[in-house]
Amino acid sequence: MAPPVSSSISASPSTTDVPAAPMLSLAGLFARAWARQPEARSADLRRQSLALAREGSRSWLAGAPSLLLQAQTDRPGTGQGERELEVGLALPLWRPGQSAQTQATHEAEATAHEHQLNLQRWRLAGVVREAWWHAQRTHTDLLQAQARIQNARALAHDVARRVQAGDLARADQHQAESAVAQALWTLAQAQGAQESALEQLRQLSGDWSLSSPPLDRTDMPDLPELPDSVPPTHPWLIAAQARETLARAQARQAEVSRTSPPELTLLSTRATGPAGEPARRSVTVGIQWPFTMGGPAAQAEAQVLAAWSAAHEAESERVLVHEQLRAHIAQARARLRSAQAQWAAAQDHQRLASETRTFFERSFQMGQTDLPTRLRIDHEAAQAQHALHRARIDLRAAWSDWQHALGQLPTE
């Protein structure tokens, strides 16, 4: 049987050296880590900005209108003579097709933003998964080091008793005490490795009270059939497609925006003549249509070509992302199958080493086996037990990496 597909972890029993593990799951750690990311905190403001831009592109004006005020007199400073006052508005208008293309560009920008957020979440999930399983491995190493200390001390105590009784030589006691010292060194190394792994979990989650990762002890059924195709809904692939769509929309917008928008001009004129003459009023309607020639035309064409160049780069990037995802999935699939085979072999190795250890324990108690042989057998059994726990976590980690390769986020 292989370890469970679920990513949730239940707390392990507390010991005198390791504090009780807090209830923490991979999905919970990921949720906390994402809430701390700058992209998550600014996402709502960015959405509001894009929504306002889309709303603005639906207006019948291409930009902000401008006010025109103009006064004219032939006798300045006297208040006499002919005077003329003009009040007007200049209204920028959309070129044909420009408004619809601008709306399409804003829609593509909003879509690309959401898919980019999903991509950032997926990438963060990979970091969280790696940190999580590294902490699980260090926790297992620490528990195994503690068990090794207990066994070494028990053996050293038994050897000391038999040395006093004259059954064993003083050299045997030195070897037993040396085994205790070596186990203490291994324990110190495991404690340092776990503290380093916990510090990474604390930085990701913001939970500085985290003292120990919980250890998973659940079972799980055999692994299902593993597909090797790239899911069409993978966050990385979808984000690349959205960037390509946005780049093409921006290129088409550049084509319809080669020049400044035309302006509709509305003027109201009030002319006053010499004293006694009535005021004259007139209304002027005009349109200003910009043309692009010479240097400005070359600059506009350069902007269009640059936009289409970015669109072609986005298309090439999408193709490359698809190829990278296919390779990533194939690698994760191979690692998972290898971890499954190692887990099966580790189970057999641990069973045989445990039975052998039982045989030699009895033989040592009856004086039929010397201490070096007993120490070697104990060490081999401890290594096999450790390899079994590591193989189980490696299989769980490989399954988690496989889910990540398919674009799935932690959910349990």
Q: What is the pLDDT of residues 218-237, one digit of tens each?
A: 455 456 677 778 899 999 99
- Tell me which DSSP letter residue 233 carries: T
Of residues 396 and 224, which shows the higher confidence score? 396
Tell me which fold the domain 26-63+100-260+298-405 belongs to: Outer membrane efflux proteins (OEP) (1.20.1600)
Which of 261-265, 271-275, 278-282 holds the top average pLDDT? 261-265
CB 61 within 8 A of CB 89: no
Q: What is the pLDDT of residues 376-389, one digit of tens each?
A: 888 888 888 888 88
The mean pLDDT of 52-79, rounded to a whole number, is: 76
Q: Please tell me the distance from the alpha carbon of residue 69 to that of residue 82, in angstroms, as a whole number.
A: 17
pLDDT band of residue 324 (cuts 50, 70, 90) is very high
pLDDT band of residue 171 (cuts 50, 70, 90) is confident
Least confident of 61-70, 102-111, 190-199, 347-356: 61-70
Task: Say yes or no to pLDDT of 5 above 50.
Answer: no
Q: Please tell me the distance from the alpha carbon of residue 329 to that of residue 404, in angstroms, as a whole number.
A: 9
Q: Please tell me the distance from the alpha carbon of residue 4 to that of residue 84, in angstroms, as a whole number.
A: 88
280 is written with which tokens? 């004259």
Domains of the chain by residue range = 26-63+100-260+298-405
Query: CA-based diameter of the chain, in Å?
Result: 141
